[in-house]
């Protein structure tokens, strides 16, 4: 047996093996090599521009000349509280909250099925179905939805064929969320937002549920819990980190989006559009920066609240 082992040739000494030796001897080196580029990117380019943005929001604009006054002031933030601006902020937060909530409710059963029951080919089909919409262009999808939801679009046409036009009209007649057609109403905007961000909700929930061993669900039943009780006391708490992660995506993506509300929904502005208009045509960089800070603050508050409520306790 020893003779056999001795006859085996040694691996050929090459450059890569010698390089591995050097890294093996100095473990820190590999870590440095791996981490420096992304840290440079994140630390300098990303955080740097964020700080620059924050600084801009503490400047103000001279009302007569329209030039930026580079002096520290909270005047721009006070401007956010003007009724018109506050309206934009609250409306955006409300829409984002509704989209997040609805995405969570829609995504959970899909994620649960995929995590607990789908196996093999079915699971592959699930991933494909969830990811496929992400492969096509955002703009194409939004314009496609505009056509689908338009007054003469596929949705209205189908509703007419199945005799559901009165139902659609009743929906559109609702105050605030209704409108002349789905494509120019908050309802339509809400639907398309959900369509766009649903994969970002499904995948984290599915990943969280995937980590829940089946024996926990059996143990819960064994201890007397009916399926509904097991859902509330075991499955939901353990899925919470996934729900929290998914909601971070859907919430922040909706808060910052400026293209979809331009194409679908009423003519009123959301935060993203306001930033776009302010830094472009209006040339009011400080106010645009102050508006851009709003989603950051909202997300920070949201995460703090989620942590307080124990959303991240499970793992």
Partner 1 sequence: MSVHAPRPQAAAAAHPLASPRDCAVGFSGVARHFGAVRAVDGVDLEVRAGEFFAMLGPSGSGKTTCLRLIAGFEQPDAGEIRIFGEPVAGIPPYRRAVNTVFQDYALFPHLDVIGNVAYGLRIRGVARAERERLAREALALVKLVGFDHRRPAQLSGGQRQRVALARALVNRPKVLLLDEPLGALDLKLREEMQVELKSLQRALGLTFVFVTHDQGEALSMSDRVAVFDHGRIVQVGTPEEVYERPRNRFVAAFVGGSNVLEPDAAARFGGPPRVASLRPEAIAVRPPGEPAGEGRVALDGTCLEVQYQGASRRVIADCAGLRLAALVPAASLRDLRPGEPLRLSWSPASLHPMEDER
For partner 1, the binding residues (CB under 8 A) are 213, 215-216, 218-226, 229, 233-234, 237-238, 313-315
Q: Give the helix ranges, DSSP H, for the chain.
A: 2-7, 15-25, 27-39, 47-57, 75-80, 83-116, 120-135, 138-149, 154-161, 165-172, 186-210, 214-222, 227-230, 236-256, 260-263, 271-279, 285-308
Question: How far from chain centre, in Å, is Cα 73?
Answer: 32
In the complex, least distance from residue 201 CB atom to partner 1, rounded to whole angstroms: 21
Tokens 């509280």 identify what position? 81
Q: How far is the CB of 147 from partner 1 (least distance, A)?
A: 46
Residue 37 or 214 having the CB closest to partner 1: 214
* Residues 246, 101: Cα–Cα separation, whole Å: 10
88 or 234: whose CB is closer to partner 1?
Answer: 234
CB neighbour list of residue 274: distance below 8 Å, 6 or more residues apart: 85, 88, 288, 291
Measured from the CB atom, is 95 or 234 closer to partner 1?
A: 234
Both tokens of 257, joined, read: 């989006």
Cβ at position 301, least distance to partner 1 in Å: 24
Q: How far is the CB of 113 from partner 1 (least distance, A)?
A: 20
- Closest separation in Å from C-beta 240 to partner 1: 8
Report the candidate in 277, 262, 87 with the shortest Cα–Cα distance to residue 176: 87
Minimum distance between the CB of residue 105 and partner 1, rounded to whole angstroms?
22
In DSSP notation, 239-252 reads HHHHHHHHHHHHHH
Residue 249 CA, chain-centre distance (Å), reads 2
Instruction: Measure CA 223 to chain center.
Output: 37
Kindly tell me which of 241 and 295 has the beta carbon lying closer to partner 1.
Answer: 241
Q: Which is nearer to partner 1, 66 or 213 (CB)?
A: 213
Q: Which is nearer to partner 1, 102 or 311 (CB)?
A: 311
180/227 with CB nearer partner 1: 227
CB of 300 to partner 1, least distance (A): 25
Establish how many alpha carbons lie within 13 A of residue 39's alpha carbon, considering only the half-sphere containing its beta carbon.
Answer: 6
Q: Which tokens hold the place of 188?
A: 């339509």
By beta-carbon proximity to partner 1, the closer residue of 240 and 278 is 240
**Min CB(230)–partner 1 separation in Å:** 8
DSSP three-state, residue 298: helix
């Amino acid at each position: 047996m020893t003779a056999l082992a001795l006859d085996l040739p040694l691996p050929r000494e090459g450059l890569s093996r010698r390089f591995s030796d050097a890294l093996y001897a100095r473990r820190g080196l590999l870590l440095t090599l791996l981490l420096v580029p992304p840290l440079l990117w994140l630390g300098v380019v990303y955080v740097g521009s964020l700080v620059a943005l924050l600084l801009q929001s503490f400047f103000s604009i001279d009302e007569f000349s329209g030039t930026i006054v580079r002096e520290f002031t909270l005047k721009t933030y006070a401007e956010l509280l003007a009724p018109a601006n506050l309206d934009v902020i609250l409306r955006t937060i409300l829409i984002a909250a509704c989209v997040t909530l609805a995405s969570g409710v829609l995504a959970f059963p899909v994620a649960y099925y995929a995590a607990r029951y789908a196996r093999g080919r079915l699971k592959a089909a699930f991933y494909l179905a969830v990811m496929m919409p992400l492969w096509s262009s955002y703009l194409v999808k939004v314009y496609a939805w505009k056509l689908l939801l338009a007054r003469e679009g596929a949705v209205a046409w189908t509703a007419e064929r199945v005799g559901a036009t009165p139902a659609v009209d009743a929906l559109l007649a609702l105050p605030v969320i209704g409108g002349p057609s789905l494509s120019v109403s908050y309802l339509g905007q809400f639907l398309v937002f959900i369509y766009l961000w649903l994969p970002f909700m499904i995948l984290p929930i599915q990943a969280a549920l995937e980590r829940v061993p089946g024996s926990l669900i059996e143990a819960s039943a064994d201890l007397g819990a009916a399926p509904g009780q097991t859902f509330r006391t075991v499955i939901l708490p353990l899925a919470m980190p996934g729900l929290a992660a998914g909601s971070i995506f859907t919430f922040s993506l909706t808060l910052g989006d400026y293209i979809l509300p331009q194409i679908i929904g009423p003519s009123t502005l959301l935060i993203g559009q306001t930033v776009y208009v302010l830094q472009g045509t209006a040339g009011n960089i400080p106010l645009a920066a102050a508006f851009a800070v709003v989603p950051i603050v909202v997300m920070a508050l949201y995460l703090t609240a989620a942590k307080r409520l124990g959303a991240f306790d499970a793992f």
